[in-house]
Structure 1
Amino acid sequence: MIRLPSLPACTARLAVAVVAGLLSLSAPTAQAEEIGSVDTVFKLLGPNHKIVIDAFDDPDIPGVACHISRARTGGIKGGLGLAEDTSDASIACRQVGPITLPANLKKRDGESIFSERRSLIFKKLQVVRFYDEKRNTLVYMSYSDRVIEGSPKNAISTVPVMPWAKP
C-alpha cells in the first residue's frame, strides 16, 4: 500500500479553491455589457474607485434583462486586478419583450446565470434565478461568495411573467 503524505490545511483549501475556480469556468453564464460608471474615490495612482453598472440578458429566458451595479476597487491593486472588491451589489431585472418559459425551468431553480470574479482567485459575484410557480414570477438574486466563506449581503429583483403587447 502506498501512503501519501497528508496535506496541510492551507494547501487543501487552496486545492479546493483551484478546483472550484476551474469548475466555475465551465458554467455557461450571461455576458455583461458595461452601461456606465461613476467615480467614488479619487486615486492618484491607478484608476479611481467606482460604482459600475452592467446589463445582461437572461441566457435561457428571452425577454428578461437585468442591470447590476457594484463597487470596483481602484488604485494600483485594482488596476492590476489584485484588489478584492466589496460584496455590495444591487440588481434590477425587467421584462423587455415576450417571455417564453422553458419546459424544464422548475428543475433549474437556483441556476447561476451571471458570474464575475471579485478578487484574484477566491471571491465572485453571482446572479441566480429562481421561479416562483405559484405567482408566475422569476426571482433574481445577486450575492458574493468565497470558496471558504461567503457574504450574507444580497439583493433580489422579481419579474412577473406577463403577456407582451404586440406593436
Structure 2
Amino acid sequence: MFRAILSLLALLLALPAAAEEIGSVGYRFKWLGPNDKIVVEAFDDPDIAGITCYISRARTGGIKGAFGLAEDPPYASISCHQVGPVDGTQAEKLKSPHEVFSERASLIFKTTQVVRFYDPKRRALVYLTYTDRVIEGSPQNSISVVPIGLK
C-alpha cells in the first residue's frame, strides 16, 4: 500500500509541463527561496496546427515554491494567435469544449486549465483559461479568440 502511494506521488510530481517557458519577471521579493514571479509560457494547440497560445500566470516563490509545495494564485491571462496556415475544416470536427492545456497550480488539488470552444456561427476558436480546485475553484478567467477560415 505504501509503495503504491509513493508511486502515485512520484507520478504526480514527474509529469512534464505542457508549455514552453518564454520568460518571467519577479514581482515580490522573498528572503528565502525564489521570488514570486509572473511566468509567460507558450503552447501549441494539440489539435489544430498553426495556433499558438501564450499564457501568463503568477507563481509563488519562497521555500514552499522552491520545493513545489506552494499554491499559486488563480490569476492567469491568455492570448492565442494564428502563427501558420490553419485548416478551417479541422475546427468543425473538434470536440467543444475541449481541454487543450492543464498544469498544476498546487501540489495536488489545484490546476490552471485552458479549454477550447468552437463557435461555428462566427467560425472562431475561443480559448478560456481558469483555475479550478477540487472543492472550490476561482471564477477569475481570461479568453482569447482566433478567427479561422476568413476570406
> What interval of TM-score do these two structures reach, taking the shorter chain for normalisation?
0.7 to 0.9
Given the alignment, which residue of 93, 104, 125 partners 1:104? 93
**Structure 2 SS opposite 1:76:** helix
Counterpart Cα distance in 1 of 2:32 and 2:113:
30
Q: Is the 8 A contact 1:41 1:48 kept in 2?
A: yes
Q: Is the 8 A contact 1:98 1:163 kept in 2?
A: no
**Structure 1 SS opposite 2:117:** strand
| Unmatched 5+ stretches in structure 1 | 1-17
Counterpart code for 1:68 = I
- The Cα of 1:84 is off from its aligned counterpart by 0.4
**Structure 2 SS opposite 1:34:** strand
Normalised TM-score (structure 2): 0.85
Aligned to 1:32: 19
Given the alignment, which residue of 44, 48, 52 partners 2:31? 44
Whose strand fraction is larger, Structure 1's or Structure 2's? Answer: 2
The number of residues matched between the two structures is 137
- The Cα of 1:43 is off from its aligned counterpart by 1.0
Aligned to 2:136: 149
- The Cα of 1:31 is off from its aligned counterpart by 2.2
**Structure 1 SS opposite 2:31:** coil
| Unmatched 5+ stretches in structure 2 | 1-7
Aligned to 1:11: none
- The Cα of 1:162 is off from its aligned counterpart by 3.6
Aligned to 2:66: 79
Aligned-residue identity in percent = 65
Could you give the per-residue CA deviations for residues 1-37 of structure 1, whole angstroms, max 9, x where no partner exists?
xxxxxxxxxxxxxxxxx9xxx8xx8xxxx82000000
Counterpart code for 1:36 = G
Q: Is the 8 A contact 2:78 2:142 kept in 1?
A: yes
- The Cα of 1:87 is off from its aligned counterpart by 0.4
- The Cα of 1:163 is off from its aligned counterpart by 5.6
- Bigger radius of gyration among the two: 1
Counterpart code for 1:160 = P
Counterpart Cα distance in 1 of 2:30 and 2:75:
20
Could you give the per-residue CA deviations for residues 104-141 of structure 1, whole angstroms, max 9, x where no partner exists?
21xx1011000000001100000000000000000000
**Structure 2 SS opposite 1:135:** coil
Could you give the per-residue CA deviations for residues 39-82 of structure 1, whole angstroms, max 9, x where no partner exists?
00111210000000000000000010000000000000111111
